[in-house]
Amino acid sequence: MHPAEAVESCADNRRLVFAMTVSRHPQAAAPRLLPRLWLLVAGVLAVGALARLGLWLDYAGAQRPGGLPPMLLWWGVRYDLAAGATLALLVGVACLLPWVLGRRAAAARWAEWLAVALLSALVLLAGCEHYYYAFYKTRFDPIVFGLFEDDTAAVLKTVWHDYPLVRGALAWAVCVVLLALGLPRLAARLDAHWPRSRSRALALVLAALQFVLLLAAARGGVGTFPLVRRDVTVSADPFVNALAPNTVFTLYRAARMRAEQVDIGSDVLAGVHRLGFRDLADAARAAGLAGTDAAQIERSLYAEVPGPTRTLARSPHVVLALLESFGADLLGTDGPGNDLLGRLREELGHGVRLRNFVAGQNGTHSELEILLLGSPVTPLTTGRNATLRFESAAALPFLRAGYRTVFLYGGGSDWRNVGTALMHQGFDRVFDARAIRERFPEAGATDWGVYDAYLFRLAQALLQEADARGERLFLVLLTTTNHPPFTLDTPHPQLPVNPAALGPRAQLDQAELRRTLLTYQYQADAFGGFLNALRHSPAGERTIVAAAGDHNLRSHYRYDLPAEFPDVDRVFAFLRVPDAYSPASGAPDALAYCSHADLVPTLVSLALPGARYFAGGRNLWQPPAGDDAAVAQLERVYTPAGVLFPLDAPLLHPWVDAHRIQPQGVAPAAAVLAQARRAAARVALTDWYIRTQVVRLSAAARR
């Protein structure tokens, strides 16, 4: 054989051996980009399905026997497919340049590791959202970004203390290792079986078709509108609706909502449209207003207290207390052996406890803004708006009446920028943990602030000093002790607690439950001690007190949602009004539905005859005028007929008993629907007014 022929024969043999090896060992095939993109899509589908299943198993509750509804599975796949295809396209774009330059194996390897990284991040986010739901009773929402504005060390300590961080980190590390080992092997097998074409033109057409398919999947459909917020409504059961989106979508939606809230922008009708109203006039008509132009609507948002103006000497001190995590549902377990009230028990007989008081927001800072600024737009004052003075500020009527206005907080005044922001909202002074420790050097503290007993001691001292000087004080208090991680190492009354009293729906960790009950009891007892000392002090008969929890305690029960939303939304609320300032009409209706938006209008009406104030809610001494309704967390409307939500397209969930509603929503009667839309319209108009103030004040500041 000629040497050249021998060389060629050997080359042919080597090619044959390589082809046979590839056929026997698929992993030896050349790496390709597209199989790795589709593997990423499949991985997102798998993670989404497992995350949804985990939420269902842990939080579906006894009212939903059986497995995941088929409709939820279908809609879940749509969201997962859209997220997976979007991520795959991003990876494809990132790897496009080396692929075009002919380094296709390198592009495929790069896509492989990007897929591992993205799936690992998705697993981590899904785990975080699982426990986020346990605490906040919702999927990711704008509050998740606000956590980074809190005391970072305190947040991390809370997470370390309350959640299985070590086990979770180990489980996540195992997932990462499995992905890093398994995905390359799966990709290699796909390489061997992926359709190939000897025609370069045909190969390009097939690749283009696959990218078009990814685009259609990322869009959420072909020939239809992309997946949008309305697509989340797949069932009459709100829990099923909540599970339909995946973590990528809920985080994206939360980020968009957060951006809209932080950067108000120039669209003052954003909230009006989001709540389903065509324009400002449409919302005004739904709210029952006579006037529909902007000036008339703005005037209608303010009210004037009837009666002649009092002299300052005849006016009362006013205390408004926001009590950390003081949910109302735990009080149903109060009794012998599980004393959750302490000294507060006796003081409740000297005032009115509001039994159907619901939280206006789901976080302390957002609650503070709706309480003191009347703002459904939150966070409003953590950024460049911190120096704007809002006409709707609660302190302004008191400041204009000659009061000294003080905000007293157990934590640091740098938290969420409250020290700076509130000094621009009509407060003369902001006292925080440092001021408390200056007065009481022995004061102990948790990671979040000074123990409540010392905060209340300073509040008592400020009232006595102001009274002695002939001043009148508007004093707002914000406590911190009843906050996870629940720690209590300062002397306190040894009142009994019993975790068993919480019944079968209580969390399983008995030691943690005991710590939770002790801090809850401590706050109630410390507040009761403050009320008792005030009642026996010279200023007692000249001091009006309103107090409410900022939100539910969150971590003590495993709630069956939405059936148990009433227990999630209700918080402790109390009014103490001396006889000299109590209206002749008697006490307010303790069973009427009300919220934080009603507290400042009530206090101004009691203390400041003749004053003009922002009427974000109603005076609780007045009857609800046939519209007995309250909005909880800007999501649900409480009425005697039941609870209606969502605000933009409400379904009625009738009452089962005082603590539960029917999980399946039904179409409300016309009168009940109109009641819910009136409540939603008031929120929309307030949202418009706050945004209008931001735009107006920002423009004035630039001039």
3-state SS of 371-422 is HHCCCCCCCCCCCHHHHCCCCCCCHHHHHHCCCEEEEEECCCCCHHHHHHHH
The identity of residue 295, as a single letter, is: A
C-alpha to C-alpha distance for 279 and 562, rounded to whole angstroms: 31
Whole-number pLDDT of residue 627:
78
pLDDT at 64: 64
**CA Rg value for the chain:** 30
Q: For position 155, what pLDDT does the model report?
A: 63
In the predicted model, what is the mean pLDDT of residues 475-501? 87
- pLDDT recorded at residue 354: 97
Buried b (16+ CB within 10 A) or exposed e, 179-203: beeebbebbbebbbeeeeeeeeeee
Question: What local confidence, expressed as pLDDT, does residue 561 receive?
Answer: 87
Q: Can you read off the two tokens belonging to residue 484? A: 């996870």
Provide the pLDDT for residue 214: 76
pLDDT band per the 50, 70, 90 thresholds, residue 235:
low
Query: Regarding predicted confidence, which is higher, 241 or 196?
Result: 241
Is 8 inside a domain boundary? no
- Quick one: pLDDT band at residue 16, thresholds 50, 70, 90? very low
User: Is the domain of 575 the same as that of 647?
Assistant: no
Mean pLDDT, the chain, rounded, equals 85
Smallest Cα–Cα separation from 425: which of 382, 460, 388, 378?
Answer: 388
Residue with tokens 């004040």: 697
Q: Which of 600, 634, 668 is the last residue of a domain?
A: 634
Q: What is the pLDDT of residue 95?
A: 85
Higher pLDDT, 161 or 476: 476
In this predicted structure, what is the pLDDT of residue 198?
A: 63
pLDDT bin (cut points 50, 70, 90) of residue 229 is: very low
Q: What is the mean pLDDT of residues 87-111?
A: 82
Query: Same domain for 292 and 362?
Result: no
Is 23 domain-assigned? no
Residue 231 has pLDDT above 80, yes or no: no
Q: How far apart are CA 311 and CA 270, in angstroms?
A: 43
188-222: pLDDT as tens digits? 888 877 766 566 666 666 667 777 777 777 666 55
pLDDT of residue 532: 97
Query: Which tens digit of pLDDT belongs to each residue from 390-404?
Result: 999 999 999 999 999
Model confidence at 232, in pLDDT bands (50, 70, 90)? low
For residue 362, the model assigns a pLDDT of 86
Task: Output the pLDDT for position 438.
Answer: 93
Spell out the alpha helix ranges (H) of 275-377.
Answer: 280-286, 294-300, 344-347, 364-372
Q: What is the pLDDT of residue 703?
A: 59
50-94 confidence digits (pLDDT tens): 998 888 888 886 666 666 677 667 778 888 888 888 888 888 888
Question: Does a structural domain hold residue 401?
Answer: yes
Residue 700 has pLDDT above 80, yes or no: no
Percent of the chain exceeding pLDDT 90 equals: 53
Domain assignment present for residue 264? The answer is no
pLDDT of residue 88: 87
Same domain, 504 and 647: no
- One-letter amino acid identity for 615? A
Is residue 244 predicted with pLDDT exceeding 60?
yes
* Pick from 315, 309, 308: nearest CA to 471: 315
Q: Does 311 share its domain with 287? A: no
Give the model confidence (pLDDT) of 307-366 as tens digits. 999 999 999 999 999 999 999 999 999 999 999 999 999 999 999 999 999 999 988 999
- CA distance from start to end of the chain: 96
Shared domain check, 313 and 376: yes
So what's the pLDDT on residue 626? Answer: 67
Q: Would you state the pLDDT for residue 20? A: 41
pLDDT for 291 equals 84
**The total number of residues written for the chain in this structure:** 703
Give the domain-ending residue among 634, 664, 693: 634
pLDDT for 591 beyond 90: yes
Digit-coded pLDDT (tens) for 598-613: 999 999 999 999 999 9
**Would you say the pTM of this structure is higher than 0.85?**
no
> 622 with 650, same domain?
no
Of 3-12, 478-487, 560-569, give the lowest mean pLDDT range: 3-12
Boundary of a domain, candidates 590, 613, 634: 634
Give me the number of domains the chain comprises: 3
The residue-averaged pLDDT of 122-151 equals: 78
Do 397 and 470 lie in a common domain? yes
Domain-embedded: residue 261: no
User: In this predicted structure, what is the pLDDT of residue 230?
Assistant: 44
pLDDT at site 344: 97
Q: Report the percentage of the chain scoring pLDDT > 70.
A: 84
pLDDT bucket at 132, cuts 50 / 70 / 90: confident
pLDDT of residue 660: 95
Residue-wise pLDDT for 501-556, tens only, equals 999 988 888 888 999 999 999 999 999 999 999 999 999 999 999 999 999 987 78
pLDDT in tens, 631-659: 999 999 999 999 999 999 999 999 999 99
Mean pLDDT across 269-293: 93
β-strands 573-576, 352-353 pairing: antiparallel
Q: Are residues 106 and 230 in the same domain?
A: yes
In a domain, 21, yes or no: no
| Range of the structural domain that residue 594 is part of | 307-634
The owner of tokens 């054989």 is: 1
31 upstream amide cis, omega within 30 of 0:
no
Determine the residue type at 535: R
Same domain assignment for residues 393 and 515: yes
Q: Are residues 118 and 249 in the same domain?
A: yes
- pLDDT tens digit string along 564-589? 999 999 999 999 999 999 998 878 99
Give the CATH number for residue 356: 3.40.720.10
Q: Is the same domain home to 282 and 320?
A: no
Please report whether residue 20 resides in a domain: no
Distance CA 291, CA 188 (A): 70
Is residue 617 assigned to a domain?
A: yes
pLDDT at residue 442, as a whole number: 92
> What digits encode the pLDDT tens for the residues 163-179?
777 888 899 999 999 99
CB atoms within 10 A of CB 594: 27
Mean pLDDT of 669-678: 95
Q: Check whether residue 576 and residue 697 sit in a common domain.
A: no
